[in-house]
Structure 1
C-alpha cells in the first residue's frame, strides 16, 4: 500500500483508483484492493460499475465466489446496473466450483437486469457441461 500512502492527501479520480484496485486484484492481493476501495470511499469517491467488476473478477479468480456475490449485492444496492462483465466471472466461478445450478440462476438474474449473455457466457456453460460429462 506504499503507493496509496503516497497518494494520501491528493485528489484522485475514479480512474486512478480503478487502476490501483485492478493491479492489486491481478496479483491476488484482495486485502490491499479492498483497502484501496475503503480509502476511495473515505475520500468521497464513489465506486462505479468498472470498479465493482474488477473486485468481483478478483474474488472469482481467487476462488472466493461467495465474496464476489456479496459485491454484486453491494453494487446493486449502490444503484449500479450489472453487465456481462459483472456476470461472466460469477458464472464461471460457480461453474468451476461445480455449482452449476447457481450459475444457471445467475443467467436468470442477468435476464432480470436486462443483460444479454454474450459468447463468453455461453462458452462458460459449454466448458462446464463438457467437464461434467
Structure 2
C-alpha cells in the first residue's frame, strides 16, 4: 500500500475525481446522508490517501490550526467498504497524524468523530471533549489528541 500526501494544487484531475467519488460513495450513498461535501475547504487541506494496486483504498484531509478548528484537524476519514477488514483505518489515521506533525509541527489534533467510531479514535489517543451533537443528522462527538 502506498500512502501519499498532496496539496489541492498537487492533486491530478484523476486523483481529485477519485477522492470526490469515494467520499460520495461512503458519506452520501452508504451512510444515506445528504450533505454539502464540496464545502470550499478542500483547497486549504492536505489530502492523505492510500492506494492499493493503483486504486484508492482510504482517505482523509488534514488542516493546519485555524483553517477548520483552533487546533490542527483531520476530517473526511474513510476506508472503501471492500477494504475495511485490512486495518487501513488505523493506517490512514496514523499517516494523517504524522503528516500533521511533519507539515504543521503540531501535536494537538481536533476531530469531529461519528459517535459509533469513538472506541476506534480512542485507540489512536483521542479523547472526547463536550457532549454528543448531530452533524448532518448523524451523532458526532468532538475529540482531541494532545
TM-score range, shorter chain: 0.3 to 0.5
User: With structure 1 as the length reference, what TM-score do the two structures score?
Assistant: 0.37
Comparing both structures, which one devotes a greater share of its residues to strand? Answer: 2
TM-score (norm 2): 0.35
